[in-house]
Every structure is written in C-alpha cells, then in structure tokens.
Amino acid sequence: MNVIDPDFAEARPAVLMAAALHLLSCSAAHGMSSAKARALVQHLTTLAGRPDTDPLLARACDELADVWNRLGDELDAQKREEAARRNAQSERDSGRVVLH
C-alpha cells in the first residue's frame, strides 16, 4: 500500500505500536484530523510490513491501515468541501452592501 519510510523501518515494533496507540488516544480526546490519520497509517503500514511482526498483528495493522487511509481521504474531502462553501459564501457576501 504505502512505501515504508526508512526511519520508520529502523524503529522497534514496540515504539511503532506505542506511537499508534498515542495517535489513537489523541484522536479520541481531541478529534481526528487527516494528518493524524496519515501518521497512523504510516505506523500501521510499517508494522504490517516488518518481518519481525507477528502475522496476526501484521494482518490487523494492514486492515486497520486501509480503514484509516479511507478516513483520512474522507477528512480531506470534507476539508475541501468546507473551503469551497466558505469561498462561495465569501463571494456572495462581497457583492452585498452592509450599512451600519
């Protein structure tokens, strides 16, 4: 799916898992963003692709990476739609004269 970052490939599996759990906890506490989703996908993909990862964990990480990748795409699409709505509203408002 994704190319494994060489720096991530050098990280111990426990460090990658701890980072993934941290990202999940931050998302639950403060809300998800596409940047957090992408970072989580990178951690999960790296874990899934390592030869020293247990096969069951690797499969779970691979499947979860797919889910979080789709979520990141959805969050990006929402962001684009909101920006387009704001721009359209701004253009409509710029033609109005407001008297105070």
Confidence (pLDDT) at 98: 57
Q: Is the pLDDT of residue 83 over 80?
A: yes
Q: Which of 56, 60, 58, 57 minimizes the C-alpha distance to 68?
A: 60
Phi, psi of 78 (to 5 degrees): -60, -40
- Average pLDDT of the residues in 73-93: 89
Q: Are 37 and 71 in contact (CB under 8 A)?
A: yes
Residues 64, 68: Cα–Cα separation, whole Å? 6
Q: Is the pLDDT of residue 3 over 70?
A: no
pTM above 0.85, yes or no: no
Residues 6+ apart with CB under 8 A from 19: 39, 43
Q: Which of 90, 73, 88 minimizes the C-alpha distance to 33?
A: 73
